[in-house]
C-alpha cells in the first residue's frame, strides 16, 4: 500500500509534522517534502523489519505502530508510536540497518523521508541537531527506566508500568480503549501472555481497574502507582 502523499500537499502545511520540524526553516521543510512518501498500513502489517536496510526516517501520521525487538522466540516491545511521532533507529548513523522491527497495530499511515536529507539537515542546522540529540536522549532515558522495570520489578509492577504507559503516554485517557492485544501487553512487560492476563484479572478483582470489552479504566491509580513502585 504505497502512494504519493495525500493528506497534505506538503510538509510545511502538514499539521501532523513532529515538533522537531519546528526547528526547520520553510526552505528546509521543502527539502524534506521533496521526494517523501506517504504509505498506508493495515493493522498487523510490517513497516520495517529488524536487520533490513533503513533508508528512511519514518513519521507516523495516523494510527498506532509498535517497535519491537525480535529476540529469542519472543518479542520485546520497545515502544508504541502514535501520531505524530517518528521512528529513528540507531542504525542510521552506524550500519544503515534496522535494529528493531516496526509494525502497525492499528491501520496506520506514515511518511517516509530519505535519511540522507535528514542527516544533511542535522549537519547544517545546529538547532535541529540539538533538538534531535535531545529526542535521542529522552529515548535513552525512557529505555533506562524500562530496563529497570523489566529486570528488577515483579510482574505486578511491570504490568502497572505498562498500563500507566498506555494510559498516560499512548492513549492519553483514563478509561482508554486498548487497541493492542494481550500478547502485546505481555511483550511490553516482558512476560508470558498468560501471566499478563492473570495479573489483569487480579487487578480487576482487587478493584484497581475495570475492564469493559476493550476498554480499561484504572479506577484506583494511587494503588496502582503503589504497585508500580514496590515492584
- Is 226 one of the binding residues for its own copies (CB under 8 A)? no
Could you tell me which stretch among 110-118, 138-146, 160-168, 207-215 binds DNA (CB under 7 A)?
A: 207-215
- Among its own copies, DNA, none, residue 194 binds (CB under 5-8 Å by kind): DNA
Q: Is 140 in the site for its own copies (CB under 8 A)?
A: yes
Which CB atom, from 130 or from 177, has the smaller least distance to its own copies? 130
- Residue 117 makes contact with its own copies by CB under 8 A: no
Cell 527539502, residue? 31
Stretch 170-199 residues interacting with its own copies (CB under 8 A): 190
84 vs 122 by CB, closer to its own copies: 122
Q: Which stretch binds DNA (CB under 7 A): 58-66, 136-144, 175-183, 216-224?
A: 175-183
Amino acid at each position: 500500500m504505497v502512494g504519493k502523499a495525500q493528506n497534505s500537499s506538503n510538509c510545511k502545511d502538514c499539521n501532523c509534522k513532529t515538533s522537531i520540524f519546528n526547528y526547520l526553516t520553510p526552505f528546509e521543510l521543502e527539502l524534506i517534502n521533496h521526494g517523501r512518501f506517504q504509505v498506508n498500513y493495515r493493522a498487523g502489517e510490517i513497516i520495517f523489519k529488524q536487520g533490513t536496510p533503513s533508508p528512511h526516517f519514518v513519521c507516523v501520521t495516523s494510527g498506532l505502530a509498535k517497535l519491537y525487538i525480535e529476540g529469542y522466540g519472543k518479542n520485546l516491545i520497545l515502544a508504541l508510536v502514535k501520531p505524530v511521532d517518528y521512528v529513528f533507529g540507531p542504525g542510521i548513523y552506524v550500519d544503515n540497518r534496522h535494529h528493531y522491527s516496526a509494525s502497525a497495530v492499528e491501520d496506520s499511515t506514515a511518511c517516509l523521508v530519505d535519511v540522507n536529507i535528514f542527516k544533511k539537515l542535522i549537519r547544517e542546522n545546529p538547532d535541529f541537531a540539538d533538538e534531535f540529540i535531545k529526542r535521542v536522549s529522552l529515548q535513552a532515558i525512557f529505555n533506562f527506566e524500562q530496563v529497570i522495570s523489566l529486570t528488577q520489578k515483579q510482574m505486578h509492577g511491570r504490568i502497572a508500568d505498562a498500563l500507566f504507559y498506555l494510559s498516560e503516554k499512548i492513549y492519553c485517557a483514563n478509561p482508554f480503549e486498548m487497541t493492542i492485544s494481550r500478547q502485546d501487553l505481555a511483550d511490553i512487560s516482558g512476560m508470558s501472555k498468560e501471566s499478563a492476563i492473570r495479573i489483569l484479572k487480579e487487578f480487576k478483582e482487587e478493584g484497581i481497574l475495570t475492564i469493559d470489552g476493550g476498554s480499561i479504566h484504572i479506577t484506583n491509580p494511587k494503588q496502582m502507582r503503589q504497585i508500580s513502585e514496590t515492584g
